[in-house]
Amino acid sequence: MEAANGLPSAEELMELVNKQDSVIECLQEKLDISNEQVRLFREAEEKRRHSENESSEIVAAAEQRISSALAALQSLKTQNEKLENELEKLSKITEQEKPVPSVIQLRNKVKELEFDLVREQRAAADLRNEVAFQKRRVDQLQSELDACHKKSASVASSLSSKLDESVKELTELKIKYQSVLNERDHIASELGGKVEVMTQRSAHLQAHCERISSKLLKLRRECKVSECRIAALVEENAMLRGTASRRPSEEEGEQVQQLLKDQSHLIDALREESKLLLNQLESERKEYRTETKLFKRERRELEERLQKMLSS
């Protein structure tokens, strides 16, 4: 909305500041999004470390089971060797004799131990296969985690770079925003003073114009009166000259001549006064036009400056 004198209102002066506020809000939203992405990548890194710990625990448990199986296998081998030695001794002693029941039981026990040994060997082989599978799985997970870590590091670096750029841009915008605020305050103060001066000058010029108009009207009336007086004097002078031409007495002739002389001086004075009034009227007109042009030029410059500030 414009004021009565054609100057923009305070709302229009604040339009530039509102635009800068919108830009700062957009940058703040970008900064919040970047912080949220950094938080998500940190959580992904924590999950990766947790997965690495679980894989290490699985490998450790598998290795412990293999160690236990190997220990049990070694124990069975030792017992088997002892039993074989005892069996060999008994075989030598009873080589020509019929086997006794204790020897038969011993052989059965050896067979059971051999069966247990085969079973434990199979279990150990299964454990080795499982350990190999777990190692391959751990290697695969490690490769995936390394790739994820590299990708996370790349994204984090990119986000950090973008965040630094956003912070730098935000800082520059804040500086520019503060500069705009300072310039706006300075311009508002300067324009306020100029508007007040222009308002006072406008009121003064308006009053001066009214005085000049009144004075011009008065001068025109005086000119009309002078013209009427001059016309009356010219007519009276003509009548006196006609009277003088009819050969009056010497005394009347002198009076007529003196009257004609006085009227001639009065006519000259009135004409000079009319000329002065016309000159004064022309001078007042020129002064009025000059002040009006100056006022219009200052007002146009002020409006152009306001328009330039609002469009920047």
Evaluate whether residue 4 is within a structural domain: no
Confidence band for 8, pLDDT divided at 50, 70 and 90? very low
Q: Which pTM does this prediction carry?
A: 0.33
Q: Over the stretch 61-111, which tens digit does the pLDDT of each residue have?
A: 666 766 776 676 677 667 666 766 666 666 666 554 444 556 567 667 667
Confidence band for 58, pLDDT divided at 50, 70 and 90? low
Count of domains in the chain?
A: 1
- Amino acid symbol at 5: N
- For residue 3, give the DSSP letter: -
Q: Domain residues for 33?
A: 10-311
Evaluate whether residue 56 is within a structural domain: yes
Percent of the chain whose pLDDT exceeds 90 = 0
Evaluate whether residue 210 is within a structural domain: yes
Output the six-digit token pair for 184.
């706006």
Sign of CA dihedral 165, 171, 174, 178: negative
Output the six-digit token pair for 111.
């067979």
Q: Over the stretch 122-142, which tens digit does the pLDDT of each residue have?
A: 876 777 787 778 778 878 888
Evaluate whether residue 1 is within a structural domain: no
CA-to-CA distance for 29 and 24, rounded, in angstroms?
9
Closest by CA to 35, choosing from 167, 128, 127, 222, is: 167
The pLDDT score that the predictor gives to residue 3 is 43
The pLDDT score that the predictor gives to residue 272 is 82
Evaluate whether residue 2 is within a structural domain: no
| Size of the chain in residues | 312
CA-to-CA distance for 78 and 113, rounded, in angstroms?
11
Identify the H or E element spanning 115.
Answer: helix 101-244
Confidence band for 4, pLDDT divided at 50, 70 and 90? very low
